[in-house]
Copies of this chain bind each other. A is one copy, B any other.
Amino acid sequence: MKLAIIFGARSFEHEISIVSAIALKKVLQCELTYIFCDNERNFYLIPTDQITSKRFSSGEYKKDKSLYLKNGGFFYKKMIGEELLNIDCVLNLIHGADGEDGKMSALFDFFGIPYIGPRLEASCISYNKLFTKLFAKEVGVNTLSYQLLLKESPEPIMIDFPMIIKPLRLGSSIGISIVKDKSELSYALDVAFEFDNAVLVEPFIKGIKEYNLAGAYSKEGFLFSIIEEPHKEEFLDFDKKYLDFSRTKRVNEAILPLAIQENIKNAFVKLYNPLFQGALIRCDFFVLDECVYLNEINPIPGSMANYLFDDFEKVIRSLSTSLPKSVEMPEQHYRYIHSIQSAKGK
Q: How many residues of A contact B (CB 8 A)?
A: 65
Contact across chains for A124 and B120 when beta carbons are under 8 A apart: yes
The answer to whether B135 and A106 have CB atoms under 8 Å apart is: no
For the complex, is A53 an interface residue (Cβ under 8 Å from B)? yes
Q: Is the C-beta of A110 less than 8 angstroms from some C-beta in chain B?
A: yes
Closest B residue, CB atoms, query A68: B70
A71 and B42 form a contact (CB under 8 A): yes
Q: A198 to chain B: which residues have CB within 8 Å?
A: 274
Contact with B along A66-97 (1 / 0, CB 8 A): 00111100000000000000000000000001
Selecting from A177-185, A309-317, A326-334, the interface stretch reads: A326-334
Q: Which B residues lie within 8 Å of A26 (CB)?
A: none
Question: Residue on B with the closest CB to A16?
Answer: B336
CA distance A331 to B57 in the complex (A): 12
| A15, A42, A98, most chain B CB atoms within 10 A | A15
Which of B102, B134, B135, B197 has a CB less than 8 Å from the CB of A102? B102
For A332, what are the chain B residues with a Cβ–Cβ distance below 8 Å?
Answer: 14-15, 38-39
Q: Kindly state whether residue A250 has any CB partner on chain B within 8 Å.
A: no
Contacts of A331 in B (CB 8 A): 39
Among B10, B70, B135, which residue has its beta carbon within 8 angstroms of that of A134? B135
Q: Assess the A103–B120 pair: CB atoms within 8 A.
A: yes
Considering the chains assembled together, what is the distance between the CA atoms of A337 and B341 in angstroms? 62
- A340 proximity list for chain B (CB < 8 A): 53
* Shortest distance from the beta carbon of A343 to any chain B beta carbon, whole Å: 10
Known: A53-B340, A331-B39, A337-B53. A102 touches B110 (CB 8 A): no
Max count, chain B CB within 10 A of own CB: residue among A56, A125, A242, A336: A336
Neighbour of A120 across the interface among B102, B134, B197, B329, CB < 8 A = B102
Q: Using A242-B336, A327-B197 as known contacts, say yes or no to A128 and B121 having CB atoms under 8 A apart.
A: yes
* Residue pair B57, A334 in contact (C-beta under 8 Å): yes
Give the CA-CA distance A18 to B102 in the complex, in Å: 27
Task: Decide yes or no: A10 and B329 within 8 Å by CB, A101-B120, A274-B152 being known contacts.
Answer: yes
Determine if A40 is an interface residue (Cβ-Cβ < 8 Å): yes
Q: In the complex where A11-B329, A130-B138, A337-B15 touch, is A109 in contact with B120 (Cβ < 8 A)?
A: no
Report the nearest B residue to A14, measured CB to CB: B332
Cβ–Cβ < 8 Å partners of A16 in chain B: 336
A137 to B133, CA, bound (A): 13
Instruction: Check: A239 CB closer than 8 A to any chain B CB.
Output: yes
Give Cα A157 to B202, complex, Å.
36
For this complex, 11 residue pairs linking A to B, each with C-beta atoms less than 8 Å apart, are A11-B329, A12-B329, A16-B336, A53-B341, A54-B346, A57-B334, A102-B102, A103-B120, A121-B128, A124-B124, A131-B135
Q: Which residues of A contact B (CB under 8 A)?
A: 10-12, 14-16, 18-19, 38-42, 53-54, 56-57, 68-71, 97-98, 101-103, 105-107, 109-112, 120-121, 124-125, 128, 130-131, 134-135, 137-138, 150, 152, 195-198, 239, 242, 274, 327, 329, 331-332, 334-338, 340-341, 346
Contacts A39-B332, A57-B341, A102-B121 aside, 12 further interface pairs with beta carbons under 8 A come to A15-B337, A18-B337, A19-B336, A19-B337, A53-B334, A53-B340, A54-B341, A102-B106, A102-B124, A121-B124, A134-B135, A150-B274
